[in-house]
Amino acid sequence: MLDAEFFRRWMAVTAASVEREAERLTALDSPIGDADHGSNLQRGFTAVAGALEKEAPGTPGAVLLLAAKQLISTVGGASGPLYGTLLRRTGKTLGDAAEVSPEELATALRAGVDAVMALGGAAPGDKTMIDALVPAVDALGDGFAAARAAAEQGAQATTPLQARKGRASYLGERSIGHQDPGATSSALLVAALAEAAGE
């Protein structure tokens, strides 16, 4: 079973990983965006880690709702409301249970990813974070490590795609040949989940 501490660890590992990879995320956002994805997420997840340390919410759902609130209020870019929605819907779906099973987390994350697709209008293949998140959720039934591999593969598979949503879509065919920054950060989020689980 996964308790609040597990979810706080997931967010803390994500914050550390975003911090470590911020330059790479911003570099990916340079040819097909506005070169701010790394700094956007660094600001957001630093706020998430700080708030979680200060308030230490006692249930998985409350951890994710607090993290979502921080992302929505501190990240200016498109990714803030999108990641905020992912964590908010996932947290709401988990409700106020003190512990959740990996299966319940998989179901809740599926609802979270669906909410991101509803908000942003992106489908798989549009060269967005969805291209890492959907394969990750599909693989979650096979364990956290399988989800991590699927997310990483999904992020890499965005390179030959033409962007159909977000800022990169303004470039049309010129968006082809670059890995999507948001899919890359989503792979970090899923890798952090596996690391928090000790996998």
- 34 is a contact residue toward ligand ADP (CB under 6 A): yes
Question: What binding mask, one character per residue, do residues 55-94 give for Mg ion by CB under 5 A, x or -?
Answer: ----------------------x-----------------
CA 4, CA 73: separation in Å to the nearest integer? 22
Question: What binding mask, one character per residue, do residues 70-99 give for ligand ADP by CB under 6 A, x or -?
Answer: -------xxx--x-----------------
Q: Which residue has the tokens 């409700």?
A: 95
- 122 is a contact residue toward ligand ADP (CB under 6 A): yes
Q: Which residues contact 142 (CB under 8 A, 6 or more apart)?
A: none
- 113 is a contact residue toward ligand ADP (CB under 6 A): no
Neighbours of 3 (CB within 10 A): 16
CB nearer to ligand ADP: give 62 or 109: 109
CB 61 within 8 A of CB 95: yes
Instruction: Find, among 18, 36, 14, 17, the residue nearest to 27 by Cα.
Output: 36
- 131 is a contact residue toward Mg ion (CB under 5 A): no
CB 61 within 8 A of CB 97: yes
Q: How far is the CB of 55 from ligand ADP (least distance, A)?
A: 25
Within 2-31, the residues that bind Mg ion by CB under 5 A are 29
Bridge partners of 2, per DSSP, are 100
123, amino acid identity? A
**Residues within the interface to ligand ADP (CB under 6 A):** 29, 33-34, 36-37, 40, 77-79, 82, 120-122, 128-130, 165-167, 180-183
